[in-house]
Amino acid sequence: MSKPIKHNKKGKSSPKGKRSPNRKNGKIVTLRVPGNGFDTDAERVTLKFTDQYLAVQGASGGAISSLLYGINTPRQPNRTSNTGVCQGWGSMTAKYGKYVCHGSTIKWRIVKHVPAQYGSLGGLGNFATNSALVHAVCYPASSMAGSSIASVRNAAVQKYAAPRYEWAKEGNSPSSADELNPRILWQGSMAMTPSKIDGEPSIRMPSYEAAVGSDPSLISLYAFVFQDVLSDVTYEGVFMVEVNLTYDVTFYERIAQVDALRAEMGPPLRMSVPQKKQVPKEESKTPAVSKSSWSLL
């Protein structure tokens, strides 16, 4: 006679009194053994980077200045100074030997300060003798050559460029009202992939992949460009720059690691040498010749 069938909450049937193994709240529970020796062969993660500093646009008569951040360089996101590192980079490079960055997202918040309201800002800011009208554009560039754009006007027509931004005009006598102007803050965001900016359908190539101790040979950039379009020869723009980046990165080529259990288990192969049997003294004499059924004639 078969056992009665008990229906569970999901409508499935199982023998009475028998529970499904490795399940908790209806979900399969996977046993994971802790230890560094159980890392996956590849891992795709999101790495974050933040930057904050004062940037100064020198008095160069309207020449363009730029700030550069890498689209696919989580090892060193700030390409102007080649500094900075993403949070979590060290822990990932301790486990894997290579990486490829699929793309990134950048968010920026840039404030143009009026030097008179903040003292001399450590000697970084000067007053404009005539006037200053600073325009800015952010656009993605496919190589370091993107920083050679000659004007904001040229930058504004680049592919995927953000809308041009214009700060309020600053005269000889800046006032506190200038600091309260809502247009003094420029903020925005952009998401880009090397595949999109370079027109390459696949980035799983040596040009985009790299060892964890280096950058890819093809680097694409977020380029911020600034220009006083009135070409004042003495004005120096002072900007508080805040940038946040998130990188989509795949790490692979897992580094061989020491088995954490080996110290407890001993060597992997052991040899057992059989000992000789101890023979009692009375049996250690020369054994007698066994009797034979043959007889001499």
Arithmetic mean of pLDDT, 66-94: 91
In the predicted model, is pLDDT for residue 84 greater than 50?
yes
In the predicted model, is pLDDT for residue 46 greater than 80?
yes
Domain CATH code at residue 218: 2.60.120
Tell which residue, 99, 1, 36, 69, has the closest CA to residue 244: 69
Q: How far apart are CA 4 and CA 16, in angstroms?
A: 6
Arithmetic mean of pLDDT, 66-76: 93
In the predicted model, is pLDDT for residue 261 greater than 60?
no
Total domains present in the chain = 1
Domain assignment of residue 14, yes or no: no
Q: For 119-132, write each residue's pLDDT tens digit.
A: 555 566 566 666 67
Q: For 272-289, write each residue's pLDDT tens digit.
A: 677 776 666 665 555 555
- Residues 250-281 as b/e (b if ≥16 CB within 10 A, e otherwise) read bbeeeeeeeeeeeeeeeeeeeeeeeeeeeeee
Domain assignment of residue 28, yes or no: no
Domain assignment of residue 260, yes or no: no
Range of the domain at 109: 39-254
* pLDDT attached to residue 183: 58
Domain assignment of residue 205, yes or no: yes
* pLDDT attached to residue 295: 45
Domain assignment of residue 226, yes or no: yes
* pLDDT band per the 50, 70, 90 thresholds, residue 296: very low
Domain assignment of residue 263, yes or no: no
Q: For 94-115, write each residue's pLDDT tens digit.
A: 989 999 999 999 999 998 876 6
* pLDDT attached to residue 168: 72
